[in-house]
Amino acid sequence: MQGNLTALLITGIIVLGVVLIGFLSGRDKTNRSSVEEWSVGGRRFGALLVWFLVGADLYTAYTFLGLTSTAYTGGSLAFFAIPYTIIAYFISYFFLPKLWKFSKNNKITTLADYAKVRFNSKFLSFLIAAVGVLMLIPYIDLQLAGIQDTLTVAGSGIINVKVVVIVSFLLVALFTFFSGIKGPTYTAVIKDILVWVIMLFLVVNLPILHFGSWGSMIDKVAKDSPQLLTIPTSGPKGIPWFLTASLVSGLALFMWAHAATGVFTAKSADALRKNAIFLPLYNIVLILLIFLGFVAFHVLPEGTNPRFALLNLIQVSYGGVVQGLAYATIALASLIPCSIMAIGASNLFANNIYRDLINPKVQPAKLTLVTRCMVFVVIGLALVFGMVFPSALVSLQLLGVSGMVQIFPAIVFSLFWKNQTKEATIAGLLVGLTVTFTVYATGKSFGVYEGFWGLLANVIVTVLLNPLFVSKIKNKSNPVIEQLFGKQRDLKIKKGA
């Protein structure tokens, strides 16, 4: 289908305007004065800003396009996104405030930093950083794919899509380099407002536009395509896959570098607790978006590419103005998360690979510059990778979820398990990664999400091996352990008295 010039112009004006705001938000030089200021904003963001930032961070163009695409082809399997976010937010209420407090006291800006301090292990820190960076590149690529698909539909026959995509991501790299986390934070406010206004308009209006009402749409789906409303009971993606995918994705959510970056910007532990309570509000949009996949199934011609389901549905339903506003929303849902992801990946590389292993004596000013410059490397790699391996992005991102969940025991268990040892944790992580990649390569998952097998092996190895090394840490004074568990010990003493 031919693109719409009006829609393309509106999309371009909104996106460029938001990018300009990203640049302006970083005009204060203090934003670039240290890694802590540049990457986590000096930990000064209140609950509302963190809510917008984490929301922009986690609800990306891949979320919107991917969910409708999955619903278009796989029906109710797409609903796994709802329980997994609820699992993630529920457990985050308990562990993120403790992680934030410890990180603030020790000036920690990455999860790999936390592991290094908690276990006194640069090797474990390196493993977590390497996993974080490698798994994040395909995720950034999916943001690339999101804006590329949007521009393909909006500008088909009008612009050179690849050139515009490259320019867009370079602009994002520039404002991220210049503004740090404040750039995507303030632009996230605009993006999230657009998401709520435009996406809610679409999910309310499209069923009415094509079927007369939501009730008529549900009746149509139930009568003509009931398979969309049920989860398969057998096959490679049945109920076991649905359950394990929800669990693994939920546990992995805040292990991603970009999610951790959003968490570390908070000015208080209470801000994170409030976010755990109110972030599930985004699920209102997600649930209704899945139904748009069902709408697209009945409205779009047979043979439509599923990855364009939502975009083509918008294209055939509205004129240029509404198209432009919707495309701009999806484009911003690509570019802003890309910025936060680039900050997270750059921070991991600069702090936990470059500083810890390559140049331990690096001065703070140089480390800050290296961290900022890595944004161009990360986004550049994502651009190249996405153009060379475009068909592998979704499968690699799903593998990324399975990979990222393997650091969950190293991070979350260690916040509550006083005698957890680095040796057992490293062994568990390596075994978990090995099992995950083996299951993925062989395709022998037995209808279960690949990362579940890896996590199961990870936990078993960590628990079984830990007693062999625990004598090394018992009866030794450790200020780090005292920070995490000292108050618990004091309370036990008081109760005993």
pLDDT for 441: 86
In order of their start, the domains of the chain are: 5-392 (1.20.1730.10)
Of the candidates 463, 430, 358, which has an alpha carbon nearest to the alpha carbon of residue 122? 358
pLDDT for 493: 38
Burial class (CB in 10 A: 0-12, 13-18, 19+), 445: buried
pLDDT over 50 (residue 243): yes
| CB 422 within 8 Å of CB 373 | no
User: What pLDDT, in 10s, does the model give residues 143-191?
Assistant: 888 888 888 888 777 878 788 888 888 888 898 998 888 888 888 888 8
Q: For 228-242, 302-316, 456-470, which range has the lowest pLDDT when averaged over its residues?
A: 228-242
Report the percent of the chain where pLDDT is more than 90.
Answer: 44
User: What pLDDT, in 10s, does the model give residues 273-290?
Assistant: 999 999 998 888 888 888
476 vs 377: which has the higher pLDDT = 377
pLDDT over 50 (residue 490): no
pLDDT for 389: 65
| CB 145 within 8 Å of CB 335 | no
- CA separation for the pair 301, 497 (Å, rounded): 75
Name the 3-class secondary structure at 4: coil
AA letter at 101 = K
Of the candidates 395, 347, 4, 382, which has an alpha carbon nearest to the alpha carbon of residue 181? 347
Confidence of residue 395 (pLDDT cuts 50, 70, 90): low
**Top-confidence range, 135-144, 151-160, 256-265:** 256-265
User: What pLDDT, in 10s, does the model give residues 397-414?
Assistant: 677 889 999 999 999 999
Average of per-residue pLDDT across 377-392? 76
DSSP secondary structure, 249-282, as one string:
HHHHGGGSHHHHHHHHTBS-HHHHHHHHHHGGGH
User: What pLDDT, in 10s, does the model give residues 448-457?
Assistant: 999 999 999 9
Report the percent of the chain where pLDDT is more than 70.
Answer: 94
pLDDT over 90 (residue 478): no
Name the 3-class secondary structure at 45: strand
Average of per-residue pLDDT across 370-390? 83
Confidence of residue 94 (pLDDT cuts 50, 70, 90): very high
pLDDT over 90 (residue 27): no
Of the candidates 57, 66, 483, which has an alpha carbon nearest to the alpha carbon of residue 309? 66
